[in-house]
Amino acid sequence: MLDGELDARIAAVEALPLEERAAAYAELHDSLRDHLEGGDVPRSKAE
C-alpha cells in the first residue's frame, strides 16, 4: 500500500460519522495486516 493511498484511506475514515469509524478502522487494520503478511490469502472473518 502506497503512502498516498494510506493517507487517503485514513482521511476517508476520519470523515465518517463517529459511530462508523471503529468498524472502518478495523477494516483498514485487516487490510494492512494482510498486505504486510503477504496478502496472497485473505484471512477469514472467523479468525
- Name the residue ranges covered by the structural domains of the chain: 3-36
What is residue 41's predicted lDDT score, i.e. its pLDDT? 58
pLDDT computed for residue 18 by the predictor:
93
Q: Which residue has 470523515 as its cell numbers?
A: 15
Which positions ≥6 away from 25 have C-beta within 8 Å? 13
Distance (Å, rounded) from C-alpha 40 to C-alpha 26?
19
Average pLDDT over the chain, rounded to an integer: 85
What is the per-residue pLDDT for 24? Answer: 97
Q: Distance between CA atoms of 36 and 11, rounded to whole angstroms? A: 21
pTM of the model: 0.68
Cα separation, 29 vs 31, whole angstroms: 5
Give the pLDDT band (50/70/90) at residue 4: confident
What is the model's pLDDT at position 23?
96
